[in-house]
Amino acid sequence: MIEIRSSLLSSCAACCNVQVTFTRSLHLTVSSGRYATSVEIADAIPSTLLSGEASFICRVATGPQLSAAEREDVWQIFEDNMKGLYVKSIFGWDPPTKRHELFHRLARYILIYGPQTEQNGSASGQATLPLVAYVGFRFEDEDGENVLYCYELQVSNVSQRHGLGKFLMQQLSNVGRHWQMRKVMLTVLKANAAAKKFYESQGFTLDPSSPEYYGNVKLIQASGEPGESEEVCGKTAENGDDSWEDEDEAEDCDYEILSKAITGL
């Protein structure tokens, strides 16, 4: 939630009232998303997806609602797609930490099962169908903005080219619009060229919070005023004076933060 500084509070009672109202509104909007049930989120998206002659089933769940078997399915797709990239990244390959992130109590998932066939089409729901794709997200406050943060978008290798990734990103915007989020954000590794190209094709651009957004050295302010404290590759200046981050350090960041505004609010 936005911190209201004493200097703002003492400057003008009317201004303070506006700031307090805005802060509470922001907090309540993010909270309403965080406390939304899987059923409420499911109401904002289609329950099925048709891709050519293939039919898929959609399900919404929170991290804690995933069964042990579903967690392993989620993890296996992530590991198959991302382990090689993580090993070479600044994040490193750390399964315990990543599992904690994936199945956090605030994590929300849209999961896709299928495809349905003549053999399994009459089966009961997604129970007999394999998990083929998912998007994991959270409702968050990023620098005073309500955002839907996409933590993972994964499609199994055998299920690509069905438009599942595009469908899931569209549903993120639908969910974000329903809960009045301002934009969808995500982090992408530069080495994942295919993912970056896909996100750009979906309208994502470099977010101002991304380390290399300004294209030059960033000035780090020790004052801590909103918008003046910058992070470069996860590191912020800690001395008492204004400091210049090393330009080479910013260029060495191997990830970017992308975002896309949610329209129609």
Report if pTM > 0.85. Answer: no
Task: Note the pLDDT of residue 119.
Answer: 63
Q: What tens digit of pLDDT does each residue of 5-19 get? A: 233 333 333 333 434
CA 261/CA 184 separation, integer angstroms: 6
**CA geometry: angle at 95 spanning 92 and 100, to 5°?**
115
In percent, the amount of the chain with pLDDT more than 70 equals 72
178 three-class SS? helix
Q: Which CATH number fits domain 20-210+255-261: 3.40.630.30, 3.40.50.300, 3.30.420.10, 3.40.50.1970?
A: 3.40.630.30
Instruction: Give me Rg for the CA atoms of the chain.
Output: 21
Domain spans of the chain, in order of start: 20-210+255-261
Q: What tens digit of pLDDT does each residue of 228-261 get? A: 444 446 544 444 444 434 445 555 799 999 999 9
